[in-house]
Amino acid sequence: MSPYRLAAGWKPAWFALLFAFSAAGQAADTPQAKYPDYPSETPAKFVPATASFDYVQRDVMIPMRDGVKLHTVILVPKGARHAGILLTRTPYDAKALTAHTMSGHLGPMLQGYDNPADVIVEDGYIRVVQDVRGKYGSEGDYVMNRPVHGPLNPTPVDDATDTYDTIDWLVKNIPESNGKVGTLGISYDGFEPLMALVNPHPALKVSVPMNPMVDGWMGDDWFHHGAFRQQNMSYIYEQTASRDNGIKWWTSFHDEYDLFMHFGSAGELGRQYGMEQLGFWNKVLAHPAYDSFWSGQAVDRLLAAQPLKVPVMLVHSLWDQEDIYGALAVYRAIKPKDTGGGMVKLVMGPWHHGQQIGEGSSLGAIRFGSDTAKYFREKILRPYLAQYLKDGAPDAGLAPVTAFQTGSNQWQRLDRWPLACDSGCAAGSRKLYLEPGQKLGFAAPATGAAYDEYVSDPAHPVPFRARPIQPIGYDAGQTWSQWLVDDQREASGRTDVLSYVSEPLTAPLTIAGAPEVNLVASTSGTDSDWVVKLIDVYPDQVAEQPEMGGYQLAVSMDILRGRYREGFAEAKPIAANQPLAYRFALPAANHVFLPGHRIMVQVQSSWFPLYDRNPQTFVPNIFWARPADYAKATQRVYHAPDKASFIALPVIGG
């Protein structure tokens, strides 16, 4: 028998044995065979031991009328009974806003954005924070500042209905409450208490919008009088690219000035960053003028058409670097409805955006002599909330308007605002004229040169603050919140900025209202921006604070895009080299120019990179201006007797 024949005869048995060994080898190679089961050290569901905590936390999903559920964090003080509820609705992560520092005590949990923690904790309120529709833990689709149901929102739900449904659930499902709800918030979260006033729930007893987003085109986050606030592109990017803000803005530049110069136009920068994927960005690109898209969602206009049913305290920051327009716009819209005089309160403090819940003894280099933010929380906010949310609490005894007067550094109880004439009327205002020789005075110019001029070059725009310019942010080391009180000497030394200065004052000059720009100017181009600043110039030496010697403190300043000189709804070219009138209001001020100080007015044509550059050549949409469109222009500011430029100051006391 040959070996081959022998092997062939045993082939079936040999293959069976080989298969058995192979299968055993494969089994030995699997992870389960190599590594035996080991019990997990992580439980399927961990239950924290919180018996020692002074609060109870409940995470719930509250159903809305369309079935969408909104993630809501409820913090109830241990032992609470008949407690009022303080609600904040936010796109900034309810979980993060209620867990600043993990602690067994409620106070440290609430140290941060939107939480006046001292008032909440010491007065025993039930704290509720909710993710708005489409953000973080909430279901549904996100829309930036979702408009109310109507032409801009065909769906049956909006922030007003979501607030109503949330309050309805809270008063029915929190047994520790007294059924009274107040809503408060800052910025976007300040927009939400305003939306709560649209068909408000009966359990809503008080609303405190602080620094609210109201009209994104006129003077809040997206535009100011038509000039686009391009540094906010990073916010749009992060806020709308993902549900949890996990997609982050990026840059290859240390100086924001270089970033925006590199890409030329805001539209091109957005294209290079892939922002055409973002719905809100596309809406901004499509609506550069104040058309029905913007006017139809302006919250002051919306509330002007609503009955006033809920007490409101509007909180405004005099140096709000983000939303300096909104609170006072709403106040003007709803105050006429307050026929009894007790439904609408206004508070104005010397703060940056949201500073009223932090430390408020200074802002940048400016000192106020006391912690103004603590005063607000203790003397104003605390008794006001108690009046409406605590059973049996007394009337807060607040004046219709509580305002901090800068310069004199004192709180005032006022019957109305503005104390002087509002923008657009003559009585109570004094004309501060731009004069030949770059001087300022209250006498109309009679002789001298007819104008001053400068060359505005888009290739070298005026920085809005000293370079390198930081991105918008509140992290340690960032000074974005202080830019409105930056020393304006950085600009006054440039040849493309005109600086008009008064003689030193011999008596105090008090203003209380919105200064109004009345500029007569020409440009050699066919479009132009006009930036006007009202500045308090300190004496050359200040004994008690030497670093303030000669400081140029901006009291009020803003920008107008010239193409909207005749009306905000439609852009029109400017007639080249023709003296034309430009009229617009600056933000409100409540300020005393002290003796020995001087008044300055600066005029310039760029404010970069906070605002996008005007190409100074008329194009249909500046977002898509091409490099060839950007051109130098000769700008003239007139001060002839028949072409007088002036600032109408809302002066108190003559």
pLDDT in tens, 209-252: 999 999 999 999 999 999 999 999 999 999 999 999 999 999 99
- pLDDT of res. 17: 43
Tokens 């092997």 belong to 7
Distance CA 244, CA 230 (A): 23
Burial code (b: 16+ CB inside 10 Å, e: under 16) for 125-147 equals bbbbbbbbbbbbbbbbebbbbbb
- pLDDT of res. 102: 80
What proportion of the chain, given as a percentage, has pLDDT over 70? 93
pLDDT tens digits, one per residue of 42-53: 999 998 898 899
The pair of structure tokens assigned to 148 is 């109310």
- pLDDT of res. 447: 86
Distance CA 232, CA 188 (A): 14
- pLDDT of res. 421: 60
Distance CA 614, CA 607 (A): 10
Distance CA 390, CA 46 (A): 36
Query: Mean of the pLDDT values across residues 477-499?
Result: 96
pTM across the whole model: 0.92
Inform me whether the pLDDT recorded for 137 exceeds 60: yes
Pairing mode of beta strands 516-523, 646-649: antiparallel
Inform me whether the pLDDT recorded for 314 exceeds 70: yes
Query: Mean of the pLDDT values across residues 19-24?
Result: 49
181 vs 30, residue with greater confidence: 181
Residue 193's SS3 state is helix
Residue 448's pLDDT band, with cuts at 50, 70 and 90, is confident
Distance CA 396, CA 386 (A): 8
Cβ-contact 600, 535 below 8 angstroms: yes
Residue 8's pLDDT band, with cuts at 50, 70 and 90, is very low
State residue 360 phi and psi, 5-degree precision. -130, 35
Inform me whether the pLDDT recorded for 118 exceeds 70: yes
The pair of structure tokens assigned to 408 is 């004199």
pLDDT tens digits, one per residue of 597-647: 999 999 999 999 999 999 999 999 999 999 999 999 999 999 999 999 999
Residue 100's pLDDT band, with cuts at 50, 70 and 90, is confident
What are the C-alpha distances in Å from 312 to residues 117, 290, 344, 382, 414? 20, 28, 5, 14, 17
Query: Mean of the pLDDT values across residues 152-160?
Result: 97
Query: Mean of the pLDDT values across residues 384-403?
Result: 97
Residue 37's pLDDT band, with cuts at 50, 70 and 90, is confident
**Which secondary-structure segment (H or E) carries 22?**
helix 11-29
Inform me whether the pLDDT recorded for 428 exceeds 70: no
15 vs 176, residue with greater confidence: 176
Residue 5's pLDDT band, with cuts at 50, 70 and 90, is very low
State residue 519 phi and psi, 5-degree precision. -105, 130
Q: For the chain, give the mean pLDDT.
A: 93
Query: Mean of the pLDDT values across residues 62-90?
Result: 97
The secondary structure of 518-540, three-state, reads EEEEEECCCCCEEEEEEEEECCC
What are the C-alpha distances in Å from 637 to residues 355, 502, 531? 37, 17, 12
Report, in angstroms and rounded to the nearest whole number, the Rg of the chain calculated over CA atoms: 30
pLDDT tens digits, one per residue of 493-552: 999 999 999 999 999 999 999 999 999 999 999 999 999 999 999 999 999 999 999 999
Residue 3's pLDDT band, with cuts at 50, 70 and 90, is very low
- pLDDT of res. 36: 67
Inform me whether the pLDDT recorded for 425 exceeds 50: no
